[in-house]
Structure 1
Amino acid sequence: MVYSYRLNSRKYQGVGKVYAVGGHDGNEHLGNMEMFDPHTNKWMMKASMNTKRRGIALAALGGPIYAIGGLDDNSCFSDVERYDIESDRWSAVAPMNTPRGGVGSVALGGYVYAVGGNDGVASLSSVERFDPHLNKWTDVREMGQRRAGNGVSELNGCLYVVGGFDDNSPLSSVERFDPRTNHWEYVAELTTPRGGVGVATVMGRVFAVGGHNGNIYLNTVEAFEPRMNRWELVGSVSHCRAGAGVAVCSTHISQIRDVGQGSSNVADCM
């Protein structure tokens, strides 16, 4: 499972770069990281994490990138590492209060949130957030539903958690957290359950990409319109996939038209 995140920074002329971190190559767990630059249309190897793992979440807050939780064949991790782009170096920060594999994460309001996941025994409804100034994780109000392999994104100052798995099956439920009121609420359900779903926010809508519905892997994409409180199917990607990373990259599609050509490692672009 490889997770990607985009970074827009003035230090890089406002051009989004996509980072793919960790995962499993079929033989072993990975700690390495690759960066995609849409201007050169190339992937570049960068510094490796200290802990090899899959099922991690990534979030970018104020420049650095955080790699959160994850698992290997033996255990789930509470480990959190922070990547400094300028020095190309990973360093450990405070661990989470709870081990979380298949965790979702997003940066919101000066904090990094870790949402759900699995602690090695059961899926979690608990949520915690990291304060980089205090180097501390604090528990916040838990979700209504236990879930791992869920997608997380931010829209209009709220945190959305989408789909995932409970201990038995993939979920179609979606919850929204408003940190200003410390309140969770359910919003409209997905059109189909999606465990291991990729999620991103684009143009005022939350997009859910792929996943597994309990029977098959999915290539469909649906979008949530907050004003209508409605999910609708909007298209599909080329390959059915679950546990894939989804990133928003601010560049023209023609610049990345050749990604994956002649390779099994295909990147879909919308």
Structure 2
Amino acid sequence: MNSRRRHVGVISVEGKVYAVGGHDGNEHLGSMEMFDPLTNKWMMKASMNTKRRGIALASLGGPIYAIGGLDDNTCFNDVERYDIESDQWSTVAPMNTPRGGVGSVALVNHVYAVGGNDGVASLSSVERYDPHLDKWIEVKEMGQRRAGNGVSELHGCLYVVGGFDDNSPLSSVERYDPRSNKWDYVAPLTTPRGGVGIATVMGKIFAVGGHNGNSYLNTVESFDPVLNKWELVGPVSHCRAGAGVAVCDCLISQIRDLGHGSTNVVDCM
């Protein structure tokens, strides 16, 4: 990347990886960079209106949504939408609750904002955005309060992985089925992971890095929903938490993790 980014939002859309916001060690960022794996180059794109770290990104039908986040003084409920074709950001309806360190994913026809911290405490609440109504609506809350959690979609369900409560990193994992508006616990991680990066690849969920309460991690584990089991796979090169993980449709090198001080796409599986 052209700039150092900690606690950056990362997403892959149409075979390209977008890195948004974060902190470069001196100040909060609103800038966006796009990585094209075909040219192996990063390109600067339009900046968000609000500089922040700990945002979540989701893509629903093309546009990219930048959700929540925080700076040194404020947890935000701001939501901005990026149009890839016009390279422009616009403001959409804010969330009902400020959420820094929030997790997000697009599921069916909605964008979900899961957990986070409102500036006082970690949250168990969840809300979803309807782009046709330009409105956020509360849904069933999780069983566990958490921020810095990873969120991913698998087989029509939303999975929230790890994170921090107000005291410690978590190993618990919950699954939300929008058809029943119900949360269930599934098998926990093999180790607690706060600030974990999450991606779904080939029918499994991968949890990358994080912090276990004592140290930063370079370990990676994958969840098999058929066996309801997590198992360790090959580690990444560097220990990190708050990194972004994106799945890119380019051969076998599908998982790429970015951020926490790294300056390149640094690890591939």
> In the alignment, what sits opposite 1:168?
167
CA distance, structure 1, for counterparts of residue 92 and residue 47 of structure 2: 16
1:5 to 7, 11, 34: 11
Cα distance, 1:3 vs. partner? 1.7
CA distance, structure 2, for counterparts of residue 213 and residue 185 of structure 1: 23
* 1:26-47, Cα deviation, whole Å (9 max, x unpaired): 1100000000001111000000
CA distance, structure 2, for counterparts of residue 54 and residue 148 of structure 1: 13
Corresponding residue SS for 1:194: coil
> In the alignment, what sits opposite 2:110?
111
CA distance, structure 2, for counterparts of residue 256 and residue 117 of structure 1: 24
Counting aligned pairs with the same residue, the percent is 83
Cα distance, 1:254 vs. partner? 7.7
> In the alignment, what sits opposite 2:50?
51
> In the alignment, what sits opposite 1:82?
81
Corresponding residue SS for 1:180: coil
Q: RMSD between aligned alpha carbons?
A: 1.8
CA distance, structure 2, for counterparts of residue 166 and residue 256 of structure 1: 27
> In the alignment, what sits opposite 2:177?
178
CA distance, structure 2, for counterparts of residue 144 and residue 256 of structure 1: 29
Whether the 8 Å CA contact 1:31–1:50 is kept in 2: the answer is: yes
Whether the 8 Å CA contact 2:246–2:255 is kept in 1: the answer is: no
Whether the 8 Å CA contact 1:39–1:255 is kept in 2: the answer is: no
Whether the 8 Å CA contact 1:176–1:187 is kept in 2: the answer is: yes
Corresponding residue SS for 2:246: coil
Distance verdict in 2 for CA 1:139–1:256, change over 3 Å: closer
Whether the 8 Å CA contact 1:38–1:256 is kept in 2: the answer is: no
CA distance, structure 2, for counterparts of residue 183 and residue 230 of structure 1: 21
* 1:1-28, Cα deviation, whole Å (9 max, x unpaired): 11210012xxxxxxx1000000000110
Corresponding residue SS for 1:20: strand
Corresponding residue SS for 2:75: coil
> In the alignment, what sits opposite 1:42?
41
1:22 aligned partner, one-letter code: G
Listed as ranges, the gaps of 5+ residues in structure 1 are 9-15
Whether the 8 Å CA contact 2:114–2:126 is kept in 1: the answer is: yes
CA distance, structure 2, for counterparts of residue 252 and residue 228 of structure 1: 26
* 1:128-151, Cα deviation, whole Å (9 max, x unpaired): 000000000000000000000000
Q: TM-score, normalised by structure 1?
A: 0.93
Cα distance, 1:265 vs. partner? 4.0
Whether the 8 Å CA contact 1:38–1:255 is kept in 2: the answer is: no
Q: TM-score, normalised by structure 2?
A: 0.94
Question: Aligned pair count?
Answer: 260
> In the alignment, what sits opposite 1:69?
68
CA distance, structure 1, for counterparts of residue 265 and residue 254 of structure 2: 15
2:90 aligned partner, one-letter code: S
> In the alignment, what sits opposite 2:238?
239
CA distance, structure 2, for counterparts of residue 254 and residue 99 of structure 1: 35
CA distance, structure 1, for counterparts of residue 254 and residue 71 of structure 2: 36
